[in-house]
């Protein structure tokens, strides 16, 4: 199943992290929500294989520690989402379809 492509409309903004919005629900450590608006990463699906970080030509992502999360203890955080060039490389390589990219 993958990230909900309509999360921006279907979920509420519950906070902010490193300059991007967090869409809930959240309930750490097991429920971390979706981080980002232009480049959204579903932290509950992300397994931290690093393919998006390696594929991104403009360094949108940075590792973020998420201790005790059942899928992985770190996530690819879209801290530079405003730098996205919409090449979709991250979306295409994510093995669990945890990333959605939409222009602002």
20 is in an annotated binding site: yes
35 is in an annotated binding site: yes
84 is in an annotated binding site: yes
44 is in an annotated binding site: no
69 is in an annotated binding site: no
49 is in an annotated binding site: no
How does 28-66 read in b/e, with b if 16+ C-beta sit within 10 Å?
eeeebbbbbbbbbbbbbbbebeebbbebbeeebbeebeb
Q: Which residues are annotated as a binding site for Zn(2+)?
A: 17, 20, 35, 77
Q: Which residues are annotated as a binding site for [4Fe-4S] cluster?
A: 56, 84, 87, 90
């Amino acid at each position: 199943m993958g990230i909900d492509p309509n999360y921006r409309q279907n979920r509420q903004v519950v906070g902010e992290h490193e300059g991007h919005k967090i869409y809930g629900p959240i309930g750490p450590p097991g429920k971390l929500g979706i981080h980002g608006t232009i480049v959204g990463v579903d932290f509950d699906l992300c397994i931290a294989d690093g393919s998006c970080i390696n594929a991104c030509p403009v360094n949108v992502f940075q590792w973020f520690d998420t201790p005790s999360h059942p899928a992985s203890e770190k996530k690819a955080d879209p801290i530079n989402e405003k730098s996205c060039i919409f090449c979709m490389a991250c979306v295409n390589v994510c093995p669990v379809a945890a990333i959605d990219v939409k222009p602002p």
